[in-house]
Chains A and B, each alone.
Chain A
């Protein structure tokens, strides 16, 4: 290219280099600003969410105060609202779900992280990820038409025969109820326990296993006495994460819990959960107090899951060094 010292600069480049850099700088500023606004939108949404739930539940909060959480009348006609049966149902179904899902999920995670060859391990966790992607209404569908009849005719009578002396397994078998909802929830949260626990277990250094094996421990002893204890905080994290899922799970629970606001010590009896009452009554709520009581339930659910998730992420952050990795959603 023939150049002369006096060649004119291309039209779109200003002759003054200072102006040039100033223009470029401002383009970056605009990009910075736009992306900042997008990121701040998320914060704004979160603040707005809390604000709305807080303000819209004001009527119920001022009228019932703390009694809201300890009384169990739910009477929209008389305008008397107590949330205890819903809180009870939410906690009981989640407890049943954890009781089943934690051993199952951690056991499967141990298999995938410690025993299975890498190829098998990754394809099995792929399937588990797919399981986590199944919409909750599908679990509800299977729950209603498949699990409920089985529970009524087979599982609940069998439990009554063998463990009937416990108050948990007394009373008539309806099929629907706390136990059925808990089982459906368990199947739904196993993938979360599994995938996070597997990640945490895989993060434990190899030497720890080898040291245990070299000392003469069996594979199981090295896993159970060395690797799992080392990973326990992260495993707790996965349990909290799963618990937060279980507490807020709506559709599947609504379809099988029975939707009856009562507190019963029997797992066979129909109950209600916070999410289920929201799903059933929110769009039909008449009157501000009714709506505001329901929104207060939403606030409770939000705070519970917010705290649990925060705790879970903190725990997982502590164990996995690269804790900021994307967790299953």
Chain B
């Protein structure tokens, strides 16, 4: 074997194992993050964490019940405002519309998807907080809803497009008009995929901190109604992690574990159970 061949073969083995190492490193990061959070946050997770209000500043103990409820309320608002718009917009792109408008909407949705979340926070601040002159749950919900729309829209469109032509033709042949065809045939056929998109979009905004900093702000007490500042899990993690107290740090780990757990479990369940089977044969 010539020297050059030996060199080429060893370079081959070396570089290929290097790519394997890259993949291993990237993938193990997730397990490392998860393991480290369980290790650090698991021991401080108690029943109090889920049922109690934060202790007064400087005192130990207390929980994050208000932040958990706050996060749920924000998600509810995000779903309420964001999902219908995204869903119907996706239907428009896939079923109605000519060439230019869908192209424009599609491109805009993709670009909006990449806009930093902190900018969305500024937008919601200008849109809701400035006219109302105070931070509120509502403002936070609007910020998150704006982030939900593009994702749901694009995802709905792509799953609707996957519904086979024959289903549409069959329903037309039975005498259905277009909206009935969409509502009773196409949407149900694509429902699993659409639901996947909605849940993934909500799981993503559930972990967003930046857009809530100056919209939902924060609150150490319960936030009744929708018109007052509210605590949320991500913002509390941020505040506690950068705060000066040892006890806050411990609680930040516990809250981090809860948040990461919820986000990952949603992702895993949704991605494995909902996308694995569709209501029709995918080609």
| Chain A residues at the B interface, C-beta cutoff of 8 Å | 24-25, 27-28, 30-32, 34-43, 45-46, 48-49, 52-53, 56, 103-105, 107-108, 110-112, 114-116, 124, 126-131, 133-142, 144-146, 187, 190-191, 194, 218-221, 224, 241, 244-245, 247-251, 254-255, 275, 278-279, 282-283, 294-295, 298, 301-302, 305-306, 308-310, 312-313, 324-327, 329
Contacts and interface: CB of A to CB of B under 8 A. Distances in A.
A137 B115 contact: no
Interface of A is mostly: helix
A220 B179 contact: no
Contacts of A190: 26, 29
Contacts of A56: 126
A124 to B, nearest CB: 5
Contacts of B104: 43
Contacts of B96: 31-32, 35-36
Contact of A250 (B102, B112, B209): B209
A31 B109 contact: no
A28 B179 contact: yes
B88 interface: yes
A98 to B, nearest CB: 15
25 contacts: A30-B179, A34-B88, A35-B95, A38-B88, A42-B108, A42-B112, A45-B146, A111-B23, A115-B19, A126-B271, A128-B30, A130-B264, A134-B263, A135-B206, A135-B263, A141-B37, A141-B253, A145-B253, A194-B26, A248-B116, A275-B118, A278-B118, A301-B116, A305-B119, A312-B114
A49 B123 CA distance: 6
A48 B127 contact: yes
B259 interface: yes
B115 A306 contact: yes
Nearest to A34: B88
A218 B30 contact: no
A310 B111 contact: yes
Interface residues of B, number: 99
B106 to A, nearest CB: 7
Contacts, number: 294
A283 B241 contact: no
B151 interface: yes
Given A138-B259, A327-B110, A329-B151, A38 B127 contact: no
B30 to A, nearest CB: 5
A108 B153 contact: no
From A52, A111, A325, name the one whose CB has the most chain B CB atoms within 10 angstroms: A111
A113 B208 CA distance: 31
Interface stretch (B4-12, B45-53, B57-65, B219-227): B4-12
Given A40-B105, A248-B117, 20 more contacts: A24-B177, A31-B179, A38-B84, A39-B102, A42-B108, A52-B127, A108-B23, A111-B19, A128-B26, A247-B116, A249-B116, A251-B209, A251-B210, A275-B116, A282-B122, A283-B135, A294-B122, A309-B110, A309-B113, A326-B154
A298 B104 CA distance: 24
A220 B119 contact: no
Interface string B176-193: 011110100000000000
Interface of B is mostly: helix
Nearest to A251: B209
A295 B109 contact: no
Contact of B8 (A218, A245, A254, A305): A218
Contact of B92 (A35, A49, A145): A35
B204 interface: yes
B279 interface: no
B55 interface: no
A133 B207 CA distance: 9
B144 interface: no
Interface in B164-214: 177-180, 182, 200-201, 203-204, 206-210, 213-214
Given A42-B85, A110-B19, A248 B115 contact: yes
B213 A135 contact: no
B158 interface: yes
